[in-house]
Structure 1
Amino acid sequence: MILKSLSLVNYKNFESQSFSFNEKINCFVGNNGVGKTNILDAIYHLSFGKSYFNPVALQNIKHDEAFFVVNGDYEKAEKAETIVISLKRGQKKVIKRNGKAYEKFSQHIGFLPLVIISPADRDLIIEGSSTRRKFIDSVISQSDKSYLKNLINYNKVIAQRNALLKYFALNHTFNADTLEVYNEQLSEYGTIIYEKRHLFLEEFIPIFKSRYDAISNSKEQVNLIYQSHLTDDTLLNLLKTNINKDKALQYTSVGIHKDDLIFNIEGHPVKKFGSQGQQKSFLIALKLAQFDFIKAQSGVNPILLLDDIFDKLDEHRVAQIIKLVDDENFGQLFISDTHADRTENAVKQVHQSYEIFKL
């Protein structure tokens, strides 16, 4: 799969800009603030229907403008595909594939496999469990439509159950039968999600460990540990036994929406005991394992975005990543950097065609 060209209108800092891309390596170089990361984010936007860096959709429209349009022309399985994302103030975002709008954005997820490696990934280590759950969900959803559907349904029911608990508290009432309906729905969707997360991590963790060993020269042992309430009991039982707690809190305290992924190095949390270099290696191994998993599931080389990668990593780690691109089985690569010479020297090490865009 290749992104052949990209057009931006009123997207972030760009008024109107178009690019035609090399099928292997594309580098955006220039000073901070010129929009290098915004271009990568536009490419991400085309795959996921949203920004990687700014979840508030309206804030991706250029200041003082009424709309934005991002247009990408792809070649996938020897077929031309055009994706257009547009948003007007006061209206809903629209995603079109070959001129036809999607009824649901979830229908588009996974069509254009993509992995991004960015300094913002550090949130996976330092932020709360929701960030790590989103990572798991993002990887699985790119190759499993039913998983995404179950997740959407689960989140809807959680919102309804929480609203009901608040209603009970405000009105000093309680209806066990109504609550039971939501419990059964949550149990159905949540159990499927738990089982799929569990199976995914059984396959994913060995890939991750292998990637980390390659980056760090096998200097230390790392692990990912899946933490879930459902490890020890069924969700239906958990919801029933925690009802008094939920009534007091006015929200659902147990379920797969509380799952977490523990990041360990030498048996200890990488957040507390990992050096900066180890944390960076951990995150890159995580993202490259994501690349490997998605490729294996979809049979398509995901597009790989490397945002500000050279400023955040030492030369050895950069070299390890660049080596990957020398593999003919690798796909299209997009890089942003502040130093044109450094970028060109790095990409010259591989035997692939490249294009450098100076902004």
Structure 2
Amino acid sequence: MWLKNITLLNFKNYADADLRFSKTVNAFVGNNGAGKTNLLDAIHYLCLCKSYFNPIDSQQIKTAEELFLIQGDFDRQEKNEKITCGVKKNQKKQFKRNKKEYDKLASHIGLFPLVMISPYDVTIIMDGSEERRRFMDNVISQTDAGYLDELMIYNRHLLNRNALLKQIALTRRYDPALLEIFDEQLVSSGQKIFAKRKQFMQDFITLFNKYYQYLTDDAEPVDLTYHSQLNDTAFETLLANSIEKDKVLERTTTGVHKDDLIFSLRDMPLKKFGSQGQQKSFLIALKLSQYAYVEKYKGFKPLLLLDDIFDKLDDQRMHKLMEMVSHHDFGQIFITDTGKERVLNIFNQIKVPVTLFEVTNGAIHHA
């Protein structure tokens, strides 16, 4: 699968743009703030229906304009697919595949898989468990069509149960029969999510260990562990045991919405004890594992987006990463960097052709 072209209208700092890409490496070069990352984000929109950086669609519209439009043509298993995304202020987002609008956006997820590596990814390590669950859910959603639906069902049941807990606190009236119905719904959905996450992690950890060892020459032992309350106790038991606490706090304190990924280095938390270099290696290994996992289950290579990555890697890690590229482990790649000569030198060394675009304040020129 590869993206043949993209057209932008009023997207972020671009009034309009029309770009045609190569099947291999495409690089956007220019100064910081010129809009290079915005081009990667436009590609992310086409593949995953949303921005990588900002969940509010209307904030992607160019200042003083009323709408944005992104359109692209993919070659997917030797068939042309036209994807269109439009956002108008105060209106529902429109998403079309071959001019036909989706009934639900979730149907699009996984058709055009993508993996992005960005400096923003440090939130996966440094922020709360929600970021790590989001990472896990993003990978599984691109390979399992029913997973995203199940997540939405679970979250709906969770909202209902939390609303009931708030009502109990407000009215002082407790209806065990109604709570039991909500518990059954939550358990049914939660068990399916837990089973899928557990299966995913069994495959993913093997890939992660391989990539981390490769990037660092097996420099230090690291661990990636899936933590869930359901690992040790049945979900219905967890809910029954926590009901008094839940009534006091007016929210559900146990379940798969509390799952986490534990990152450790020599049995110590990576967040506290990992150097910047070790954290970068960990993140890149996570994302390369995501790429390999998605490719394995989709049967074709996802797009790989590398945002400002050369600036953040030492020579050894950059060499290792480019070594993989040169061995054709990846399909179509999009890169941003501030240094035109650096990009040309890197890809000349590994004898991989690169299509270069120079970006200057929202204007793009084929270099």
Query: Does TM-score exceed 0.5, indicating one fold?
Result: yes
TM-score, normalised by the number of residues in structure 2: 0.96
Tell me whether 1:236 sits opposite 2:228 in the alignment: no
3-state DSSP of counterpart to 2:335:
strand
How far, CA to CA, are the matches of 1:94 and 1:179 in structure 2? 38
The letter for the 2-side match of 1:131 is E
Cα deviation, residue 327, structure 1: 2.4
Q: Flag structure 2 segments of 5+ consecutive residues without an equivalent.
A: 360-367
How far, CA to CA, are the matches of 1:291 and 1:91 in structure 2? 34
Q: Deviations over 1:274-322 (max 9, x none)?
A: 1110000000000000000000000110100000001111122112111
How far, CA to CA, are the matches of 2:223 and 2:157 in structure 1? 33
Cα deviation, residue 163, structure 1: 1.0
Residues 22 and 353, structure 1, Cα contact 8 Å, conserved in 2: no
User: Between Structure 1 and Structure 2, how many residues are aligned?
Assistant: 359
Residues 112 and 302, structure 2, Cα contact 8 Å, conserved in 1: yes
3-state DSSP of counterpart to 1:80:
strand
The letter for the 1-side match of 2:118 is S
Equivalent residues in 2 for 1:16-35 (5 A)? 16-35=16-35
Question: Which residue matches 1:331?
Answer: 331
The letter for the 1-side match of 2:257 is H
Cα deviation, residue 349, structure 1: 2.1
How far, CA to CA, are the matches of 1:122 and 1:329 in structure 2? 24
Question: Which residue matches 1:320?
Answer: 320
3-state DSSP of counterpart to 2:95:
strand
Cα deviation, residue 329, structure 1: 4.4
Task: Compare 115-124 and 174-183 and name the one that shifted more.
Answer: 174-183
Question: Which residue matches 1:180?
Answer: 180
3-state DSSP of counterpart to 2:10:
strand
Residues 229 and 256, structure 2, Cα contact 8 Å, conserved in 1: yes
Identical residues among aligned pairs (%) = 47
Residues 37 and 336, structure 2, Cα contact 8 Å, conserved in 1: yes
3-state DSSP of counterpart to 1:240:
helix
Residues 304 and 330, structure 2, Cα contact 8 Å, conserved in 1: no
Residues 95 and 102, structure 1, Cα contact 8 Å, conserved in 2: yes
TM-score, normalised by the number of residues in structure 1: 0.99
Residues 49 and 95, structure 1, Cα contact 8 Å, conserved in 2: yes
Question: Which residue matches 2:13?
Answer: 13
How far, CA to CA, are the matches of 1:229 and 1:307 in structure 2? 35
The letter for the 2-side match of 1:306 is L
Question: Which residue matches 1:350?
Answer: 350
Q: Flag structure 1 segments of 5+ consecutive residues without an equivalent.
A: none
How far, CA to CA, are the matches of 1:229 and 1:205 in structure 2? 19
Residues 68 and 86, structure 1, Cα contact 8 Å, conserved in 2: yes
Tell me whether 1:311 sits opposite 2:304 in the alignment: no
Q: Deviations over 1:81-134 (max 9, x none)?
A: 011110000100011000001111110000001000000000000000000001
Residues 132 and 261, structure 1, Cα contact 8 Å, conserved in 2: yes
Cα deviation, residue 196, structure 1: 1.0
The letter for the 2-side match of 1:26 is N
How far, CA to CA, are the matches of 1:224 and 1:62 in structure 2? 40
How far, CA to CA, are the matches of 1:73 and 1:340 in structure 2? 27
How far, CA to CA, are the matches of 2:193 and 2:282 in structure 1? 25
How far, CA to CA, are the matches of 2:150 and 2:161 in structure 1? 16
How far, CA to CA, are the matches of 2:72 and 2:170 in structure 1? 50
Question: Which residue matches 2:161?
Answer: 161
The letter for the 2-side match of 1:207 is L
Cα deviation, residue 351, structure 1: 2.8
Residues 113 and 300, structure 1, Cα contact 8 Å, conserved in 2: no
Question: Which residue matches 1:289?
Answer: 289
Question: Which residue matches 1:215?
Answer: 215
Residues 123 and 131, structure 1, Cα contact 8 Å, conserved in 2: yes
The letter for the 2-side match of 1:344 is L
Question: Which residue matches 1:78?
Answer: 78
How far, CA to CA, are the matches of 1:329 and 1:340 in structure 2? 24
Residues 205 and 224, structure 1, Cα contact 8 Å, conserved in 2: yes
How far, CA to CA, are the matches of 2:208 and 2:349 in structure 1? 25
How far, CA to CA, are the matches of 1:324 and 1:114 in structure 2? 17
Question: Which residue matches 1:138?
Answer: 138
Q: Deviations over 1:245-278 (max 9, x none)?
A: 1110001000000000000111111111111100
Residues 83 and 97, structure 1, Cα contact 8 Å, conserved in 2: yes
